Structure formats: C-alpha cells, structure tokens
Structure 1
Amino acid sequence: MIPLERGQAPEANSRLLIEAQTGRRLRLLFWCLAIALGALEVWAHRNEVNPDSISYIERAEAAAQGDGPALVGGYWSPLYPLLLSVGIRLFHPTIYWEFTFVHMVNLVLYLGDLFCFEIFLKELLAARRTESGLDKGLWPVPEKIVWIWGYLLFLWNSQFWLSPAMVNPDIIVAGLVYLATALLLRIYQGKGTWLLFAGLGVALGVAYLAKTAMFPISFAFLACGFLLLGRTEGSYPHALARSVLATAVFLSVASPLILALSKEKHRVTLGDSGAIAYAELVNGARMWTHWQGEPPGTGSPAHATRKVLGHPPIYEFAEPIAGSYPPWYDPSYWYEGIRPHFSCKGQLWVLFRSANSYLKLFSRSGALYVVFLAVIVLVGKAGKWDWGGSRMSLVWLPSLAALTMYALVLVEQRYVSPFAVMLIEWVLTSTRFSASKAETLRKRTAPVVVLALVVAMAWPVTRDLRDTLANRPYEPWEVAVGLHKMGIPPGARVGSIGTGLSAYWAHLAGVQIIAEVSERDQTSFSSADPARKEEALRKFSELGARVVVMKNSSAAQSIEGWQKVAGTDYYVWRPAGH
C-alpha cells in the first residue's frame, strides 16, 4: 500500500493507489496486445526474408559452426548474426524451420524494443514534470492518455515502419536508441551520474556493433549528454569528466570491431557500407552487385566479379567468397577500391528523393495526418505548444541528426523509425491546453487519436490473419525440394538467370550460385537467338555449374532442355550428360 505523506488525506492516497492499479492494468493490456500482434505478424511472414536476411543468417550459421571470423565483415555488422548464431547453437533448427526460428528471435527483440520504449516514455513524462514556467491555467495532456498514445504509436510503428517480421538488425538499433534517449532525458532531469554516463557509452557502443551508421550518430548523443549536464549543473569541467568516461566506454566496446575490420581490410575503417551506399546513390556506381568501375571517377575494383560473356552478360564469382550468393555475402570484397566523392548534382537528387521518402513515410496509412490534425486543432483553439526550451532541444538533436544523415544518402523506414517515433512522442507531450478544454480533450481529441491508429492497424492485422489461415506454400522452399528431387545435392554449384539477390532457394537447397545473368540483363538473354542462348548455357557448364535455374517460362520454352520445377514457376536446365 502506498504510504501517506505528512498532511496527505486518505482520499488522496486512495486515488494514487487506484491510478497505480490502473497503470498496471493498462501496461498488462498493451503487453498482451503487443505479444499477440507481434506473434501474428511474424507467423504470417515467417518464411519471408530479403537479400540482407540471407547474408546475416549464413554468417550466423558459419559462426555457430565455429567460424568466428565470419561475423566480422566490411558490410554486415556482427551483433545481429552473433545473436542468431547463439540461438542456432541452442535450438538447432532444421533448414525447413530456420526462417521461422529467425523470425521468433525477432519477436523476442521486438518485445525488448517495447521494454526500452517504455523506459523512454517514462523518462519523457518525468522530464516534462520537472519543467516550470508554464502559463497559468494551461496543462499538459494527462499522462494516462500519453501512455495510451505511446503504446498505440509503438504498435502502429511495428505494422508500418519497423516490423518484427523484417530480418535485419534495425530492430536491435531501435531499442538501443530508445534507451540512449531515455538516458539523455535523465541527464536533463539532473540525474547525470557516473554510472549513467557509463551506461550511455555501453548502449551506443553496442548500437555500433549492430549497425555501422550508429558510429557518427553516437557522437551526437555523447556531445548532447555533455552539454545537457553542463547546462543543468552549471559546471562544464564536471560534465566533461563524465562525458570522457562515456566516450571511453563507447570506444572500448566499439574498438575491437574497428581493429578487426581494419586488420582484415589493411586500412583503417569503421565499415564500408556507408561509403558503398554513397558511391551508388550519389555518384551513380552500379548498385548492389557486379560493379566493374563504372562510371569513371568512382574508383577501380580490386577484385570485381568476372565478366565472362558479353551478350548476354554473364558474371562469375565462384571464388573466394562463401555463401549461397557470394556477391551479397560480402559486398565490401567485390566493391573494394570504390571511391565515393561529393557530387553537387548527385547530392541534390538524393536530397530530393529523401524528402519524397520522408513524405511517404509520414503518409503511411494516413493515421499520422489525423493524429496531428486533431492535436493542432485543439491547441489552436485553447492552448499552446511548449517545446521545453533549449536544454530539452539537446535531447532531440541526435534524432534530428540521424534523420539528416540518412537524408544525405538513403532514407528507409526501418532506418529512421525509432528517431521518428520519439520525435512524434515529443510533439504530443509538448501540447498545453486550457483547463476548460479538458473535457474536450477527454471526449474528442484523445479518442480521435486512438481511433486513427487503431483503424490504421486493422488492415495489416486482418491481412496477417488471412495469410496465416491461408497457409500458402512457400515457393523458394518448393524450388529447393525440387532441386533435391532432380538429383542436385547440397553443396552443388549452380548458375542463375535472374538476380541471385532474391534466389532464397539457393540457401534452402544448400547450393551455391557461382555465375549469373543478372536481373537487369535477363531481357538480353530472353531476346537472344537460340544459338546465343545455347552459347550462354554452355558457358555456365564450362564454369562448373551443374544446372542453371531461371524463373521465366517464355525464355525456357524458346530452347530445348529446360525442365519445370514441380509446383513452381522455376525452370532448370542441365548440360548434356548430367
């Protein structure tokens, strides 16, 4: 029971007890809802992966089998495959259940995100309570309503921006970003202890191990922590000492990876993903695979994939990289030698595209338009915005810096999701309204915000339920089974017509794609005359491919020797005598 404070009436103590019980019930309700919706989402999409997913999974498998260096690569960060490898060692999922198992790991990470988001929201509300100087008669949104809005926004985000069904490390980064921002909020409240700054360094260091992009963003967090403490306590030397500790802890966590990468690449590097992305998106280098040094000025490849035929173009990449699709198992190897450089025209085009991406991000489902319109109307009629002053702005500066950094190269919803969610929460908690309008908030505005988010989630939840009940066959698995039935054993080398990026069947079948006609060049193969097609297929055979796999019925029917994989739209060509 909550003890009575001196002079506190029993009725006040009873009210506090009721509020605490209501808060616990509210938390239990939303945790049950989060578990149910998250489980439904990952189960409905349990077989869905992307090219990045396969690389993370295969690195995790290699690490689980004792190949620790497989976790260290210039393109893929090590923390996510490390967690997957631990799960693989503990549970030993079969290849049929492997994708499902990885999604279940994501479900656990997603619930961890919710826990970290709760910490962030709690600290945000505590920070707003410490603020003074509000206009007399103007009050913030009741905390119970903010909690409901926050939970619903988190669940909405999991359906539209950062789904637990996405097999990538961004789900780890989100939780650590929530946690790091919560620590800044504690510093804002004057609780910047030595232990807290050490914890900030740990959170940021682990975030870098999950995603290279967090390295520069981490320094924004560290700088803002220093400025916040200095302004709060009025002693910058004192703040500097604790910030040095946070930076030292951060670097101690991050430096083993930096040293390992630098040793592997024979140059100082934090990771190559940012440089490659900038060269591709700003400088116009060939994206994803088979960069041969074009366009001029982007560098010279140290060991590009080998172009062995001009028409249709066939690229070979059997050695020395492992994986079911070597060009994507370690893109930094094939793009070694790339040289990103500033291009005014290219940068302006990327900024334009990023602005469009942010607009689309905000427009997902239309719910956010309704949320902000309802809040703006209420504040406009009888209220004001209170952003918390210059000290509070330091808490949000790292999130704004992250959104700006991504805008310079590539904006994807999963990248910017945690930063955007926190900024939205900040906006909602910055509303102040007249006491006379409290009933309007309770009866109109708050329900509108809740209804907008709930209705927006109704469609994806219904879709996931429908897909779960339908239980449709998964085509890549059917292709993998079909290849085994055709006598293609695990470990075999195969060719592909159409990009290997989406050839998930290769991983499931345990085979390795060693050469391909890429998706962008597939039309060149389809439109070629029979003699040139036969020449291309012979080239695959000469390179050591036991079969060639293609998803194109019209091209397969234009030349003899193709055999359809039962139950799929894929076709297999065997060289004579195989």
Structure 2
Amino acid sequence: MNASAIRKVLWIYLLLLVPLAWFSAQYDGYAIDGDAVAYMDLADLIRGHNLHAAVNGYWHPLYPAFLAAAQTIFHTNRWNELGAYYAVNVFIFFLEVGSVLLLVHGLVSLRKRLAPAMESLLSFDLLSLFGLSLLVIATTRELSLDKVRTDSLLQALIFGGVGLLLEALASEGSVAFVYAGLMGLTLGFAYLTKSFAFLLALLCVATLVAFSVLFCKRRIPVALAQSVVALVLFGVVAGPYIAALSRQHHRFDFGDSGSLNYIWYVSGTEKMHLQQRMTDSFGSATVELKHPEQELMRTPGVYSYTQMQHGTYPPWFDPTYWNDHITAKFSLSRLMARDERNVVLIFRYLFNHPEPLILLLVLLLTCGRLNWRGRYAWPIVGLGILIWAIYSLVNVEERYVTAAYLLILIGLFGVFERRERYERASLIVPSAILLLFALLPLGAMARQAAENRRQLSIIGQVPAWRDAQIFGAAEGLQAMGLKPGDSIACIGMTACVNDFYWARAAGVRIVGEIYAPESKHLATQLDTMPYRQQALDALRSQGAKVIVGAFDPGEMNTNHPATEGWQRLGETRYYALRLSPKS
C-alpha cells in the first residue's frame, strides 16, 4: 500500500470515529460515582459564578468548567444533565484524537532532525493509525464515554503537552520558543484538570533543557530561556489557582490529591469519618484535624456535615477540608507493601492490553527492529515511564496509567526501522498489519455500542443514562414532598458513598449520616443497631427531613421490626423514613 493510499485510510478512519464515538456515547449506560457528582457540584458553583466556593484542593476546576458550559449550552436540569455531560465527553474524545496526531507529528519531526537517514518502518500516517487505535481501545475499556471523570481530558492535555515538547526540540529559533510557550500553556491547563500535572510540567521543562543541550546541541542559555518561557506561561494559567489554594489552606499548595492518596493507600489512614480520638486508624500519619466531621454519636456512628454549605455529599465534595492537617510520615515497610500490590496491578493491566505487545512481537519477527541510536523517542518513552512510576508509588488504576502506557508504546513503535534483508516485507507487512490492528478496535466499539443498545431496549431504559434505580429514588423523594434544597440524611455504603447521584437528581443535600460500613443486609444491621431512635433524633436535630438507605426489598417485612415506617421509593431498592412532618 503506497503513501497516498495510507493517507486516505487515515482520513477515512478519522471520519468513521465521528459517528462511532457519538453512537457509543448514546448507548453507554449509567456509570456515575461519587467523583462524578463532585465534579457536577463544582460545575454548579462555576456556572453560578461562586468561584470562591469552587476552589478545591482535591478536584480541580477545568473539567467542571466544561460541564458548566454544557449546562449553559444545553439548558440542562437535574433530570437531563447527564446527556449534556456525555456530549462533553465526546468533545473531549476528539481533543484526544487531535492530541494523538500532534504527539505523533512531534515524534516524527524530531526523528527527521536527529535521525534523518533512518529507514523508518512506520510513517506518520501508520504511526497515527496505531496511536488512534490505542486511543479507541482505551476508550472502550477504562476511559469510556459514560464516565463523568477528568481522566480523558487530562490524557488529551498530557499528549498535547508532550507533543509540543517534541516540536520544540525539533524546531529552531523563534519557532522553538513558540512551541515551548505553547507547551507551558497546555500543561497549565492540564494542571487545572488535575494536580498531578504540576509535577509533569516540571518534568517536561527539565526534559526540554536536558535534551536540548545534550542531543539537540543548543547552547545552555538558549535552552534555559526556552524553559523560562514555558514556566512563565504555565504560571500564567496555573498561578492564580495555586494562589487561591495556598490562600485557602494558609500554606503553599498546588493540590492535595496526591498527598491524600498517599496518606490513604500507603500510610493506611482511615479514609472516611476520621476523628481525633481514633488513633488506631491513623496509620503512620500524624493527625491533627483542623475541622473534622461533627460526631453526633459514637455508637452507632452518626455524623453531621452542616458545617460545609456545598456539595451533594459534603465528605466527598472536598476531602481536603475534612482531612486538613494530616501529615504523611515515610514508612519504607508500608511503601514496599503497597508497591507489591501495585506491581500485581501493573501486570494485570498489561495482560488486559495484550494487543500492542503482540503487534510489537509480530513486527520484530517479520520485518522490523528497534533502533534507539537516534534518541528522538527518549523524551516520550522516558516521560511515560516516569508517569507510571509516580502512580506506582501510591495507587495504580487503569485510568491513571493509560496515558503513560500509550506514550511508551507510541515511542517504541516510533523507533522501528526496516531490516535490510526483509526490505520487500517491510514495505507491505507494516501497512497491512497496522490497518487490521486499527480496524479491529473500531469494530469492537461499534459492536459494544450495538449490544448496549439492544440490552437497553430490552429493559426499556431510554435514554441510556436514565438509571431506573437512581431516578426512581429521586422521583420517590419528590412524591414524598421533598423539594430542591431540602436537607436529608442517609445510611449505608450504597446510598451514602458508592452511589448517591439519586440525591443530586432530586436536588437535595445530605447533611448527616448513620455510618453502616457493610452494604449488605442493612435491615438486619438496623434491627441490631443500639440507640437507633437516638441516632434518628440526632439527624432530625440537624434539619434532615428524611433518611434514605438502600435495602434488599425482600428484607423489608415484619421479620425486621426496625424497617417499619420506611417507605419504598418507587420500584427501587431505596427506602426513606420521614424524620420531620411533611411541610
């Protein structure tokens, strides 16, 4: 297949992505969690110009700003907002497509500069097809379009920032300064997406200086000047938010999501409802809580969240508020124990994404070899390894390390060169294999969307995101007379922590909770709960009109006397008990 035909295939591939991405988003089912609700709550604040309240050390503002824009464009309410957010995710998906193309272009440009005589196995078009196919695979697995999360946007900006870094290294004169500045701007927006990008920006700037001097043969003052341009423009975008966070927390602060995850996953500190008296739950951290949750009762655990005025479920709206003044202490034994677990997760991730590794082996055995002498792929592969290593120190999740994996793979495939004795095969095999490799994920995306549509039609769930349990519970609360802005309480992990979008859909706020850590057999837990009536009275004193929990409907009977008076919300697993007279 000649270069012109491959270019046409690339254009056709890009055109096919448009209907397939939209079709996939239309029939991706409900997949909302506490992270998603926190972003939606922040979007409400941004749309209402309450920017001071939107300053949050755990969830950064760029993705909520996208959601706020969707609220305005589509004139959403709580009953139809998810459709608008899925449209945002489709838009972000095409930002990812553009950033992959920019990344590949930067790699090819640097290849032309540092290894002009290299007989590359994969052209820009073939390498682009490879990168886009990886993106489609990731989108159908861990970054699906039904996830109201920031990971896809962060990935788009990481690819864009690294691509601009490669362009800066490949260019000379004022053009290199322009690319360095654009890299700083892009990574600034990445920081506004997630605090992790602060570290990434520093790594990219260090890479720009070191690689420019060592391999691009630039003078040190020129390389340093480019880094200054990048840092200044990064600061223009990120600086105001860093200043707002630092002012809020009375210390220099660029975000606390990384430190909190270290505290939870490495130090072993209790994640929810931590109190100063709970020394056995501190792990290896030093805990001096500045404003813990108000503990109304110890047995059972009853907590009030009235001191925070924002968020559907305040404990997860801003974890940095409730966990302020927890300091991690380095513990080698705890870190090694966590890293052992992360190594297992890394291998699980690789086994779950075998296709590119198989393709790598096929190309090595048939017509290509890896050539690192040009060094042009070192920045992209090195940054991918560093990103993965940083996450591996704390918590490896597939959606976190996907960007790192794709950077490493694109860099690896970018250094393929032809083998002389397989010259004829090297002209035919790569294009044939890459074309097949690229089309299979497209087919899988279409098949999965079609199957989702079939399943949704069977259960009558239209639109796809209108989950019967969640929206049935919200409608049930409205039928009980609750109005937007009312205060309620919750009980149990399902209703309080795992899936509380029902409260946002109804427009109510959770101001208190009876802590019941076991999600199953809540009726039995309620029967055996000591001081149950006093716990309900405590929640009533906080202004909660009802308390909601997720029960097994089969257990709501006279065999469980404590369930008397609980009213089923529609045909769902959610039940509510009125705490105050109907207004």
TM superposition score normalised by structure 2:
0.88
By how many angstroms is 1:396 displaced?
Answer: 2.8
Alpha-carbon distance in 2 for matches of 1:196, 1:158: 28
- For 2:81 and 2:234, the matched residues in 1 are separated by 34
Contact 1:551-1:570 at 8 Å conserved across structures: yes
| TM superposition shift of 1:107 | 1.2
- Local SS of the residue matching 1:193: helix
Question: Hey, what does 1:157 align to over in structure 2?
Answer: 138
Task: Report what 2:45 is aligned to.
Answer: 62
Does the alignment pair 1:101 with 2:99? no
Aligned length: 556
Aligned letter for 1:400?
I
1:491 maps to: 485
- 1:77-121 deviation per Cα after TM superposition (whole angstroms, max 9, x unaligned): 111112222332333212211111111112111111111111112
- The answer (yes or no) to whether the contact 2:167–2:176 under 8 Å persists in 1 is no
Query: Matched residues in 2 for 1:38 and 1:194: separation?
Result: 36
Which of the numbers 298, 322, 334 marks the counterpart of 2:310? 322
Contact 2:29 2:452 in 1 (8 A): no
Name the CA shift for 1:166/1:524 in 2 (closer, same or farther; >3 Å): closer
Q: Which residue of 1 aligns with 2:546?
A: 547
Q: Does the CA contact (< 8 Å) of 1:84 and 1:105 recur in 2?
A: yes
- Supply the distance in 2 between the matched residues of 1:442 and 1:383 (Cα, whole angstroms): 9
Residue 4 of structure 1 corresponds to: none
SS in 2 for 1:233: coil
Show the counterpart of 2:524. 526
Greater mean alpha carbon deviation, residues 533-542 or residues 451-460:
451-460
Relative to 1, partners in 2 of residues 1:469 and 1:543: Cα closer, same or farther, differing over 3 Å? same
Of 67, 86, 91, the residue aligned with 2:74 is: 91
Give the drift of 1:131: 4.7
Q: 1:572 to 1:237 in 2, by over 3 A?
A: same
Aligned to 2:323: 335
Cα drift, residue 435 of structure 1: 0.4
- SS of residue paired to 2:111: helix
Give the secondary structure class of the aligned counterpart of 1:54. helix
Cα RMSD, aligned residues only: 2.7
Deviates more, 1:404-413 or 1:306-315: 306-315
Which is further off, 397-406 or 31-40?
Answer: 31-40
2:387 to 390, 402, 405: 402
Residue type of the alignment partner of 1:412: E
Matched, 1:42 2:29: no
Provide the secondary structure at the position in 2 that maps to 1:232.
coil
Out of 444-453 and 380-389, give the one that drifted further. Answer: 444-453
Q: 2:290 aligns with which of 283, 290, 302?
A: 302
Say whether the 8 Å CA contact 1:119–1:182 is kept in structure 2: yes
Distance 2:9 2:431 in 1: 19
Residue 216 (structure 1) aligns with? 199
- The counterpart of 1:255, out of the listed 239, 260, 272, is 239
Contact 2:363 2:430 in 1 (8 A): no
Paired amino acid for 1:550: G
Q: Kindly indicate whether the alpha-carbon contact (under 8 Å) linking 2:20 and 2:445 is maintained by their aligned counterparts in 1.
A: no
Q: Counterpart of 1:282?
A: 266
Task: Classify 1:481/1:536 alpha carbon distance in 2 versus 1 (closer, same or farther; 3 Å).
Answer: same
CA drift at 1:386: 1.0
Report the equivalent of 2:168.
Answer: 187
Query: Take 1:494 and 1:324, find their aligned partners in 2: how far apart are those partners?
Result: 10
The worse-fitting range, judged by mean Cα deviation, of 214-223 and 71-80 is 71-80
Distance 1:152 1:469, change over 3 A: farther
Distance 1:76 1:552 in 2: 31
| 1:569 counterpart residue number | 573
C-alpha distance in structure 2 between counterparts of 1:323 and 1:139, whole Å: 53
Q: Is the 8 A contact 1:312 1:525 kept in 2?
A: no
Distance 1:524 1:378 in 2: 56
Measured in 2, the distance between the counterparts of 1:139 and 1:569 equals: 59
Alignment-derived partner of residue 537 in structure 1: 536
2:151 corresponds to which of 170, 184, 187: 170
C-alpha distance 562-524 of structure 1, shift in aligned 2 (>3 A): closer
> Displacement, 1:221?
0.4
* Displacement of 1:29: 2.1
Question: How far off its partner does 1:538 sit?
Answer: 3.2
Contact 1:102 1:167 in 2 (8 A): yes
Describe how 1:20-35 pairs up with structure 2 within 5 A: 20=4, 23=7, 25-35=8-18
1:161/1:60 Cα in 2 relative to 1: closer, same or farther (>3 Å)?
same
Distance apart, 1:533 and its partner CA: 3.4
* Structure 2 counterpart of 1:8: none
Q: CA deviation at 1:573?
A: 1.0
Deviates more, 1:545-554 or 1:39-48: 39-48
Comparing 99-108 with 36-45, which one deviates more in the overlay? 36-45
Per the alignment, do residues 244 and 546 of structure 1 end up closer, same or farther by CA in structure 2, a change over 3 Å counting?
same
Checking the alignment, whether the CA contact within 8 Å between 2:291 and 2:322 is kept in structure 1 is yes
Distance 1:498-1:37 versus aligned 2 partners, 3 A rule? farther
**CA 1:187 to 1:273, structure 2 compared with 1: closer, same or farther past 3 Å?**
same
Verify: 1:414 aligned to 2:399, yes or no.
Answer: yes
Looking at structure 1, the residues matched to 152 and 275 of structure 2 have their Cα atoms a distance apart, in angstroms, of 30
Q: Deviations over 1:55-95 (max 9, x none)?
A: 11111112212212132111111111122223323332122
In the alignment, the residues of structure 1 paired with residue 231 and residue 581 of structure 2 have an alpha-carbon distance, to the nearest angstrom, of: 64
Q: What residue number does 2:224 align with?
A: 240
Counterpart Cα distance in 2 of 1:305 and 1:495? 14
- 1:306 is displaced (CA, Å) by 2.1
Unaligned segments of structure 1, at least 5 residues: 1-14
Overall identity of the aligned pairs, in %: 24
Separation in structure 2 between the aligned mates of residue 320 and residue 142 of structure 1, nearest angstrom: 55
Q: 2:346 aligns with which of 336, 346, 358?
A: 358
Q: Which runs of 5+ in 2 are unaligned?
A: none
Give the letter for the 1:110 counterpart.
F
